[in-house]
Homo-oligomer: A and B are copies of this chain.
Amino acid sequence: MKRYEQFADDIAELIRSGVLAPGQRVPSVRYASQTYGISPSTVFQAYYLLERRGLIRAKPRSGYFVNVHTPTPFAEPVVSSHGAESMQVDVSELVFSVLDSIKDPHTVPFGSAFPCPMLFPLQRLARSMATACREMDPRLVVTDLSPGNPQLRRQIALRYMVGGLMLPMEELLITNGALEALNLCLQAVTEPGDLVAIEAPAFYACLQVLERLKLKAVEVPVHPRDGIDLEVLADTLERHPIKAVWCMTSFQNPIGATLPEARKKALVELLRSHQVPLIEDDVYAELYFGLHAPKPAKAFDTEGLVMHCGSFSKSLAPGYRIGWVAAGRYAQKVERLKLMTSLCASMPAQAAIADYLQHGGYDRHLRKLRDALEEQQNAMLAAIARYFPAQTRVSKPTGGYFLWLELPEQMDSLKLFEMALAQGISIAPGPIFSPTQRFRNCIRLNYGSPWDAASEKAMETLGKIIKSF
C-alpha cells in the first residue's frame, strides 16, 4: 500500500468511527504534513482519493470537510415482515429471464450479479496461468483430485490466518465456484423435504439450490444494516425442525447488510445451542470499504458447525469458477459429495490462482478494486438522489457492489424490469429474492461497473420510468 493510501485509510476510519463528524474540517494539508511526517503532496493525494470516494469535499479557499450527508438523502429500507410458514421454492423462470437480460453486452448491467470484469487483473492472471500450465506436473492430474491443489489451499489458509482464523488445511475443499460449495454443504446436511432457514430477501441462487434439492424454505427477515433478525431466527428454530441456516453474514446479497461481530457471535451461539449447522455464504468478504475485513461467523465457531464458503469469482477471476469451503465437522462428507458430483475443480484454474496469490499482487489489486467500488457506490447514490422519487429508500452497504432500493408502494418491479429492459437497462426485480415473490416494490442495482455517461443516462431513464408509475 502506498503512503498516501494508508493516510487516506486512516482519515476514512476517523470519519467512519465518528471521530471526524459530518461537516467538520479535516486536518489542513500543512497540519497533517507536519503532524504525520509526510509531504504535503502525499496529503493532497490522500484527500483527492477521499474526495473521489465521496467521504470529504473541498470548499474553495477553506480546505476539506467531511461530507455532511453521505450522498444519499434517503432512508434505509424497512425490515421485511416475517413470513413464518415454510414454502416450496420455485423462482427459476423469473431468475432465468433476468440472467438472460444481462447477456447482451449493450445492456446497462444494473441487474448483473457480477462486478465489471474490466476491474480484474485478467492479463496478470493469464501470465500466472501460462506459468502454471508450463510447470504443472502431468501426474498431478490423477493424484491431485479433490480436495484440490495444495498450493492453492495453503494460500487460502494463509489468508484466513491473516484474518485471525486458524484453519487446518485438511478442512479446505476447492469447488467449482462458491455455488457448488453451497450446493454440496446443503446436500451434506439435508434430505429432500427438509426445512432450511434463509434470509428475506435472499440471494436468488440460494432459492434455486433449495428448489433443486427439493427443500423447503423458512424466511427470516434481514435488517438492511445489521443483517438477519436473530430474534425471529431463534423463534423459528424453536418452532420448526430446521436442518440448516443459510446466511450471508457480510455485504448480504441483495440488501448489503453486515452482521456486526457481536451479532455474528450470537448467531453462532444460537445455532450451537440448537446444534444446527450454519452455511455461511461469504463471497463478498474481500470487498469491504473500511480498514479491516469483517470477521466471518466462522471465526466464532468452536464446534465445527459453520461451513464457510468463499470464492474468487467476485474479487479476482469470475470465469475461472474457483471457490472453496471450510466445512468444519462436515468436511469429509462434503469432500465425498464433491468427488461424486464433479470429481474436482479445473486444475489449470486452480494452479493459476495459486500462482497469482503468491506472485501477482492480490492485495494491491484488492485495494484498487475496493476504492473503485466505493467510488461507484457514491456515484450511484448521487444519481439516485438526482433522479429517483423522494420516497425512495436505499441501503448503504459498507462493501460489495449492490444497492437495495425500496420504491414507492405502488411500484411493480416486474413491470419496471420489462420497461427498463426495453430501454436497454437491466435491473434485478425484488420478487426473485423471495420464494414467496415478495419485495414487489424493491429492486437491486449493481454498481460494479466504472461510472460513465451511459450509467448516468440509464439512471435518469430509470428515474423517469419509476416516476411514471
Assess the B142–A99 pair: CB atoms within 8 A.
no
Within the complex, which residue of B92, B192, B349 is in contact with A349, where a contact is CB–CB below 8 Å? B349
With both beta carbons as reference points, the residue of chain B lying nearest to A340 in the complex is identified as: B208
In the complex, which residues of chain B have a beta carbon less than 8 angstroms from the beta carbon of A122?
133, 136, 138
Tell whether A293 is near chain B: CB-to-CB under 8 Å: no
Q: In the complex this chain forms, how many copies of it are found?
A: 2
- Extra inter-chain contacts (14) besides given A142-B318, A177-B343, CB under 8 Å: A96-B339, A103-B143, A103-B145, A105-B143, A114-B141, A117-B141, A117-B142, A126-B133, A129-B130, A129-B348, A144-B319, A177-B342, A179-B343, A183-B342
Assess the A342–B342 pair: CB atoms within 8 A.
yes
Assess the A120–B102 pair: CB atoms within 8 A.
no
* Among all A-B residue pairs, the 8 with the closest Cβ atoms: A319-B347, A141-B319, A346-B346, A126-B133, A117-B138, A130-B130, A176-B342, A208-B340
With both beta carbons as reference points, the residue of chain B lying nearest to A346 in the complex is identified as: B346
Assess the A118–B138 pair: CB atoms within 8 A.
yes
A75-130 CB contacts (< 8 Å) to partner B: 92, 96, 99, 102-105, 109, 112, 114, 117-118, 120, 122-123, 125-126, 129-130
Tell whether A337 is near chain B: CB-to-CB under 8 Å: yes
Tell whether A30 is near chain B: CB-to-CB under 8 Å: no
Assess the B145–A112 pair: CB atoms within 8 A.
no
Shortest distance from the beta carbon of A340 to any chain B beta carbon, whole Å: 4
Tell whether A336 is near chain B: CB-to-CB under 8 Å: yes
Tell whether A230 is near chain B: CB-to-CB under 8 Å: no
Assess the B348–A320 pair: CB atoms within 8 A.
yes
- Residues 311-340 of A, flagged 1 when their CB comes within 8 A of B and 0 if not, give 000000011111000000000000011011
A142 to B449, CA, bound (A): 12
A439 to B53, CA, bound (A): 68
- Residues 178-204 of A, flagged 1 when their CB comes within 8 A of B and 0 if not, give 011001000100011000000000000
In the complex, which residues of chain B have a beta carbon less than 8 angstroms from the beta carbon of A109?
142
Assess the B212–A337 pair: CB atoms within 8 A.
yes
In the complex, which residues of chain B have a beta carbon less than 8 angstroms from the beta carbon of A179?
340-343
A119 to B347, CA, bound (A): 17
Shortest distance from the beta carbon of A45 to any chain B beta carbon, whole Å: 28
Assess the B344–A321 pair: CB atoms within 8 A.
yes
Tell whether A345 is near chain B: CB-to-CB under 8 Å: yes
Show the binding face of A for B, using Cβ within 8 Å: 92, 96, 99, 102-105, 109, 112, 114, 117-118, 120, 122-123, 125-126, 129-130, 133-134, 136, 138-145, 175-177, 179-180, 183, 187, 191-192, 205, 208-209, 211-212, 214, 318-322, 336-337, 339-349, 352
In the complex, which residues of chain B have a beta carbon less than 8 angstroms from the beta carbon of A136?
122, 126, 319
In the complex, which residues of chain B have a beta carbon less than 8 angstroms from the beta carbon of A92?
336, 340
Assess the B346–A176 pair: CB atoms within 8 A.
yes
Assess the A342–B321 pair: CB atoms within 8 A.
yes
Assess the B105–A139 pair: CB atoms within 8 A.
yes
In the complex, which residues of chain B have a beta carbon less than 8 angstroms from the beta carbon of A344?
319, 321
In the complex, which residues of chain B have a beta carbon less than 8 angstroms from the beta carbon of A143?
102-105
Assess the B130–A342 pair: CB atoms within 8 A.
no
Given A133-B126, A134-B126, A345:B318 Cβ within 8 A? no
Shortest distance from the beta carbon of A73 to any chain B beta carbon, whole Å: 32
Shortest distance from the beta carbon of A298 to any chain B beta carbon, whole Å: 22
Assess the A342–B138 pair: CB atoms within 8 A.
no
Assess the A320–B346 pair: CB atoms within 8 A.
yes
Q: Which of A105, A125, A177, A349 has the most CB of B within 10 A?
A: A349
Q: List 25 A-B contacts (CB under 8 A).
A: A92-B340, A96-B336, A99-B339, A105-B139, A109-B142, A117-B142, A120-B138, A122-B133, A123-B134, A125-B133, A126-B134, A126-B136, A130-B130, A130-B133, A142-B318, A177-B343, A179-B341, A179-B343, A183-B340, A209-B340, A319-B344, A320-B346, A320-B347, A341-B341, A346-B348
